[in-house]
Structure 1
Amino acid sequence: MHLIDPARHTRRAFLRRSGQLAMAGTALPFALNLATMGEAAAQAAPGDDYKALVCVFLYGGNDYANTVVTYDTDSYGKYSQIRGGNGDAGGGIAIARAQLLPTLLAPTQALPGGRQYALHPSMTALADLFHNEGKVAVQLNVGPLIAPITRAQYDSGNRKSWPVPPKLFSHNDQQSVWQSSSPEGSTVGWGGNIGDLVLSGNTGALFTCMSVSGNAVFLSGDQALQYQVGTGGAVRIYSVGTNTGNLFGSDTVKAAMQQLAQQSRGHTLEEEYSKVVRRAVKAEGQVTTAIQSDFPAGAFPANNGLASQLKMVARLIRGRASLGVKRQVFFVSMGGFDLHDSLIANQPGLMQRLSDAMAAFHRQMATLGLADQVTAFTASDFGRTLSYNSDGSDHGWGGHHFVVGGAVKGRAIYGTPPPVSIGNTAADADQWHVGQGRLLPTTSVDQYAATLARWFGVPDSQLDGILPNLKNFGCTANGIAYPRDIGFMG
């Protein structure tokens, strides 16, 4: 197999943005830098209908084994023993088997070998959506890969023949690798690359890539830059924005500041700075108009930070016509998943907030008649170890994830069920982990992303340009199929 080295990968032939006026950030909020984007000449995704992708990133590395929990008798017994439990009663960091029965998954097509899974007991909302509406898919053991690789090849240390993602098991680096295929310091993510391809189809190009969770490399493209909003709406520019109060108790002072910040200037750099301010002020007004009124009380769960972010995404999608967009990529996130300790105490609340928020978001999309046009999916730094350290788990590699939406081929579990094992030698018959139950992914992030991108409208001819390792897949290796399209999207 010919391997593509991402360090030498030539990205598609878009012009790099010539400058980002970093000095503007010293005087005005970072949001102003986002407005430096000019009109982009890029290929639009086919079709005139609206579509959106929503990345739900779980910062800290979610524990895969207690999220999608192995349930069949043989596998559960191994899981319980490895995690410090006492058979079906659980214990240690193993969830008792009886607790899993309400969220036991019954996929339309049974898994080979009699394997069964249940969701975390707190994830009743997603379990109901899985069964009753068939709008949830579970993707097993997905993570960053450069090319297919086995445990023995990994253990060989021969990285020229068997390359692996850079800086495995590092939080910051693996967050970046998941979002951009490169470690910390990367400036272009695959969500932004997708955004580049659809800019010309959006009259409001600035609103193609939008984050409700601060800066994320996932949304940065060659031309597409992320526009950041908060859970309350557009980020206001103090003393300059249209929706702020007066300055120092005086409307006159505010008017003078607005004129100074936005007036045309003869000096090239000063004029570019003024353009940035004018665009940002205009964008603030557009967003404020687009989000309109809030959703009714109870539409989204209260006291749930992720739900608040997804509610803002829903309001922006509802106002898509006002923003002038036909294709959008969004980013939201949760933190708190780095559970080396207190896994049993803290993960239930995280899982419930995730489940409730994603289910509520999907139902609001359905109410708006947009369920088939909006797809949300999870991602995380990495999975964690199957082994435990008395009260938690350590950094891993592959993990299990969710895809939710009307176009999802749901009530299904995709991918290869991983071993329930922590054997620490290459001779271990259950070789699809690299020690301590750190899963060696059998589905790559590039495959996961390509499946979503194809549904979004990215042509097959463009996929290799936005996902640098995808050329190494579309094959069967080591008895595992690695399709370019996993098949969970309709």
Structure 2
Amino acid sequence: MNAPTILTDVSRRAFLQRSSLFGVAGVAAPFVTSLGAIGEAAAATASDYKALVCIFLSGGNDHYNTLVPYDPTSHAKYASLRSSLAFSREALAPTVLLPTADMGGRAYALAPAMAPLSPLFDAGRLAVAMNVGTLIQPTTKAQYQNKSVRLPPKLFSHNDQQSFFQASSPEGAGSGWGGRIGDLYQSGNGTAAMTCINASGNAVFLSGRNAIQYNVGTGGPVPLLRNATSLYGSSVAAQTLRQMMTETNPHMFGTEYARINKRAMDTQAQLANSLAGVPESNFSLFPEDNGLADQLRMVARMIAISGDLGTKRQVFFVSMGGFDLHDNLAGNQPRLLTLLSEAMRAFHDTTVALGVADKVTTFTGSDFGRTLPSNGNGCDHGWGSMHFVMGGAVNGKRLYGTAPLVGSGTPDDVGQGRLIPTMSVDQYASTLARWFGVSDGDMSTVLPNIGNYDKSSWGQGFV
């Protein structure tokens, strides 16, 4: 039998992904090569523009001091279990949330540092998703204690729970649900490489089975070959290197590598040119000295040129770290929440100014929540957490899901105030995916555990 002369599409992509180890021109080469894994097929089309923006709070944000119990009964229990960390009701009074739906006597307030987001909640542009976390299937306290249900592996582990939140799989996952959404839309999505865009470095959330995340810096596209016009002082040498990287080759691997390099260079040039055409004054609302704001500013710039790129669907990822506060929580978390809320508010207001607020939905994620009792100066790894969804299409001024009881040994508490999630990440994500245009028929492709939940719970209603 003759040796095969062509690669299957799957093996070709696998080769190209691995071949990044042998790239040309140092740090630019893995990025150049990774674009070769962009597939050709897609299961969805779109005529309007929509963007999903994930803000990931790495380290496990303490939700108890982010969305704080405010009604007298709940606040008293909260304060008694974390006396060194608790906000007083007086300090919380300016940021009390007044939702449109009756909470049965329960009340919450935003942390004082999150005051910039209060007007968005009041205006119906911000919603709260209650007790969200990693699950494989619906789980009760008795089932957890009896070990009678499947649970996410290595609960309370940073790496595994970050991965499970982003990918529905533990550390080592090959794709995330943001990337799998991108798989459905990249074909015919204008500049296909602009479907999944990471302004934070790299994250499994945006890796698809075909779609590859495009990394951008806060100042624009990654400069391929460092935008060099000369090599060892010679412009001819630089031109020769570019020619070598993009010229056809009699070997099929060489030809494919050259095609990838050319596409990467063309995409980088197209993106840089489009960004240069948008006035900087359009993005003046973002605060200085705020790394998350810098990332979201870049996302806003990318959204502003989506028409030039021909993209109809985009998924973005940004992040900030520092939330693993086993100590000095009272000093550090307010600073982090100030940066978070100022960046989110500036991003929202910029989308309003750009006329796309109803086309952009932003949501938060994190490894997990944290324990209710203080360890003295901070708190330890938890499970369920509270998250925010923001945008013009959001059904805001509401708290969605089941409000957990505050206290020790409650039906939600598996120990130390660690909450069993009552809204799985899959249910949270399915609501966002539906708004984005993902059909129910494609939902299990994006969220492999969603079939374990009643279909009526796939859309939680917040967008």
User: TM-score, normalising length from structure 1?
Assistant: 0.88
Measure the CA separation in 1 of the matches of 2:445 and 2:242: 42
Deviation at 1:283, TM superposition (A): 1.3
Aligned to 1:31: 31
Give the drift of 1:247: 2.4
Structure 2 counterparts to residues 113-192 of structure 1, below 5 A: 114-131=105-122, 133-158=123-148, 162-192=149-179
Provide the residue aligned with 1:291 in structure 2. 275
- Distance, in Å, in 1 between the alignment partners of 2:237 and 2:210 is 36
Which range is displaced more, 168-177 or 320-329?
320-329
Q: Which of residues 322, 341, 358 is equivalent to 1:355? A: 341
Q: Does 1:448 align with 2:425?
A: no
Aligned position for 1:463: 443
Give the match for residue 107 of structure 1: 99
- Matched with 1:62 is 61
Map of 1:204-353 to 2, 5 A cutoff?
204-238=191-225, 243-292=227-276, 293=278, 295-296=280-281, 298-353=284-339
The residue type paired with residue 77 of structure 1 is A
Q: Offset of 1:109 from its aligned partner? A: 1.2
Q: Deviations over 1:71-123 (max 9, x none)?
A: 0000000000000x2xxxxxx011122111111101111212x1000011000
Unaligned runs of 5+ in 2: 1-8
Task: Specify the alignment match of 2:4 in structure 1.
Answer: none
Q: For 1:190 and 1:33, how far apart are their aligned partners in 2? A: 23
> Take 1:97 and 1:366, find their aligned partners in 2: how far apart are those partners?
33
Question: How many residues of Structure 1 are paired with residues of Structure 2 in the alignment?
Answer: 448
Deviation at 1:203, TM superposition (A): 2.3
Instruction: Show the counterpart of 2:6.
Output: none
Q: 1:8-55: CA deviations, max 9, x gaps? A: xxxxxx96844334233443423213310345111124x411000001
State the one-letter code of the partner of 1:191. G
Paired with 1:384 and 1:24, the residues of 2 have a C-alpha distance of 39
Shift, 1:129, TM fit: 1.1
CA gap 1:245/1:15 in 2 versus in 1, 3 angstroms: closer
Residue pair 1:290, 1:316 contacting (<8 A) in 2 also: no
Distance in 1 (alpha carbons) for counterparts of 2:452 and 2:329: 36
For the 8 Å contact 2:20–2:34, the answer to whether it is kept is no
For 1:484, the equivalent position in structure 2 comes to: 458
Q: Which of 4, 15, 18 in structure 2 is aligned with 1:22?
A: 18
Instruction: State the partner residue of 2:52.
Output: 53
**Partners of 1:462 and 1:164 in 2: how far apart?**
24
1:39/1:205 contact within 8 Å kept = no
Q: Give the structure 1 partner of residue 81 of structure 2.
A: 82
> How many angstroms apart in 2 are the aligned matches of 1:65 and 1:219?
28
Equivalent position amino acid for 2:406 in 1: V
Q: Is the 8 A contact 2:189 2:195 kept in 1?
A: yes
Distance 1:110 1:230, change over 3 A: same
Deviations 1:218-252 (A, max 9, x none): 1111111111111011111226xxx4342233322
**Matching residue of 1:3:** none
The alignment's C-alpha RMSD in Å is: 1.6
Query: Where does the alignment leave 5 or more consecutive residues of structure 1 unmatched?
Result: 1-13, 86-91, 424-429, 476-481
C-alpha spacing 1:39/1:82, structure 2 compared with 1 (3 Å): closer
Cα distance per residue 1:173-225 (max 9 Å; x no partner) = 00000000000000011011111111223021111101001111111111111
Shift of 1:318: 0.5
Q: Percent identity, aligned pairs only?
A: 50
User: Are the counterparts in 2 of residues 383 and 398 from structure 1 also a CA contact under 8 Å?
Assistant: yes
Shift of 1:362: 1.0
Among 190, 211, 227, the alignment partner of 1:203 is 190
Structure 1: distance between partners of 2:107 and 2:274: 44
Query: In the alignment, what sits opposite 2:71?
Result: 72
Following the alignment from structure 2 to structure 1, what is the Cα–Cα distance between the partners of residues 10 and 128?
37
CA distance in 2, matches of 1:18, 1:351: 41
User: Is 2:166–2:205's contact at 8 Å kept on the other side of the alignment?
Assistant: yes
Q: Give the whole-Å Cα distance in 2 for the aligned partners of 1:109 and 1:362.
A: 24
What secondary structure is seen at the aligned counterpart in 1 of 2:225? coil
Separation in 2, partners of 1:246, 1:277: 18
Determine if contact 2:17/2:37 at 8 Å carries over to the other structure: no
**Separation of aligned partners in 2, 1:190 and 1:203:** 21
Moved more, 248-257 or 164-173: 248-257
Q: Aligned partners of 1:245 and 1:127: how far apart in 2? A: 49
Equivalent-residue separation in structure 2 for 1:236 and 1:254 (angstroms): 14
Give the distance between the partners of 1:26 and 1:102, measured in 2 at CA. Answer: 57
Residue 270 of structure 1, CA deviation: 2.1
Farther off after superposition, 18-27 or 405-414: 18-27
Structure 2 length-normalised TM:
0.93
Secondary structure at 1:382's aligned position in 2?
coil
Matches of 1:145 and 1:260, distance apart in 2? 50
Please state if 1:97 is matched with 2:89.
yes
Aligned-partner residue type, residue 172 of structure 1 = N
Decide whether the 8 Å contact of 1:209 with 1:328 is kept in 2.
Answer: yes
Secondary structure of 1:69's partner? Answer: strand
Query: Given that residues 44 and 201 in structure 1 are in contact (C-alpha distance below 8 angstroms), is that contact kept between their aligned partners in structure 2?
Result: no
Structure 1 Cα separation of the partners of residues 414 and 305 of structure 2: 47
Q: Which residue of structure 2 lines up, in the alignment, with residue 9 of structure 1?
A: none
Q: Secondary structure at the match of 1:74?
A: helix
